[in-house]
Amino acid sequence: MKPKMRLERDTMGEKDVPAEAYYGIQTLRAVENFPISDLRFSRSFIRALGLIKWAAAQVNEELGLLDKNKSKAIVQAAREVVDGKFDREFVVDIFQTGSGTSTNMNANEVIANRAAELLGEPLGGKLIHPNDHINLGQSSNDAIPTVIHVAALELIEKDLIPALTKLQKALAAKANEFDPIVKIGRTHLADATPIRLGQEFSGYARQIALAVRRVQSVRENLSELALGGTAVGTGINTHPEFAKQVIKILSRETGCAFHEAENHFEAQAAKDAVVETSGALKTVAVSLTKIANDIRWLGSGPRCGIAEIMLPDTQPGSSIMPGKVNPVIAESVLMVAAQVIGNDLAVTIGGQAGNFELNVMMPVMAYNLLQSIELLARSAENFTTRCIQGIQADEARNQAMIEQSLAMCTALAPEIGYDAAAKIAKEAFKTGKTVRDVARARKVLPEQRLSELLDPWSMTEPHAGSKKKKSK
């Protein structure tokens, strides 16, 4: 059976729209014009778009521009969009008009039809008009940039920063737990002088602390909203107080300190704050790549790898090798990081599409930016709870590997000279003996001094030959 349809009209003519759809004719045209992908805007974007329409209706009533009954219905309908009740009605592809007008009209039509329904009118009527009432005081050209900033900053504040902070604390806790454990350091993937496992993890903790700082640094520019500029930044067809009052409501509702853009022409023509934010996210992705890679290498084994740490077992790792367990959580982090880095390139190219008074790649920039924030937040949270918090150290293996390292001879160089120390290292490698055994056999130093210099703990702090050793 054919679905029931309703006839709608717009400035370009007539079309049949599914009778039960809350979207209307302009949304349908966009669906037909952009059959490109299955990508749609995320919950965070739709929420922010609904918030703007919700706040706008309240302000337009206060300014005497919107009838009280209509405003009440619009406020309720927009709130339902904010709460996710109409996500299925947002059907327009990401790859659409560069201003995001199609999605703005999608929201306008959904809210208009739902508001009319609340007033007892059938779907498709014009009692509540998508342009005249829902879009009052706005243009897609200032609304969509505002949505991007609101959605991004709210996600950063509520999801990403808490997730990264939790990861940083977990790494710092492991740094403290593992501080007594001395292990071999590695540079160029080759054996280097000893380092404490806690020191290694402290580096990871610091990376994430700096990641939080980098993400926090984008707050100032993301907090500027383009709302109030309407078509080209001049503010045509909007009340002078509209943007200020809407932004006040948005700030109160989200808990983020938004304010009107200092220059509307910049806010609409350029998307530099979005590019900047994506760049910070890319840096976070690079940091996570370093940490996840190190952790999966340190946990490689369990018998034929480095195996200095033991990762939590999460799932069987092979469909053919019984008992095999893989570092799957770390691998998922690496894939997220790759996606975020790829997203950043798309955002960067999108940022170059600011032509005269408008950027015309906003939908794809928004999609990639918000996806990056969400992926990083979820990945960091998962990495913390399913991997970092459960890591254990194999202290005996760490100690055994140190004693086998040729780099132990580094501590001898200040007293016997670089060349003499190198000869010891070469002989140790050739014979399979330890540096300690060769140095003792050659009697290069008194036994007590040799023991002091080759104490692994003393090599993890400044001053060669220091006798200081942390009590366990």
93/405 Cα distance (integer angstroms): 58
Q: Reduce the DSSP state of residue 190 to 3 states and report it.
A: strand
Phi, psi (deg, nearest 5) at residue 15: -155, 150
Token pair 């990403």: residue: 160
Cβ of 414: how many Cβ atoms within 10 Å? 13
438/429 Cα distance (integer angstroms): 10
294/299 Cα distance (integer angstroms): 8
CA nearest to 77, candidates 89, 62, 65: 89
Per annotation, catalytic residue among 217, 259, 318, 451 = 318
**β-strands 182-187, 190-196: how paired?**
antiparallel
318 included as an active-site residue? yes
Residue 174 buriedness (CB in 10 A; 0-12 / 13-18 / 19+): buried
Per annotation, catalytic residue among 37, 188, 319, 463 = 188
Half-sphere exposure of 64 (CA within 13 A, CB side): 0
Which uninterrupted H or E stretch holds 194?
strand 190-196
What is the biggest distance separating any 2 CA atoms in the chain, rounded to whole angstroms?
99
Token pair 């980098």: residue: 214
Residues 6+ apart with CB under 8 A from 469: 455, 457, 458
300 included as an active-site residue? no
- Residues 270-294, buried b or exposed e (16+ Cβ, 10 A)? bbebbbbbbbbbbbbbebbbebbbb
98/105 Cα distance (integer angstroms): 13
Beta strand extents in 41-150 (DSSP E only): none
**For the packed helices 25-33 and 101-118, what is the interaxial angle rounded to 10 degrees?**
150
Query: Mind telling me the catalytic residues?
Result: 188, 318
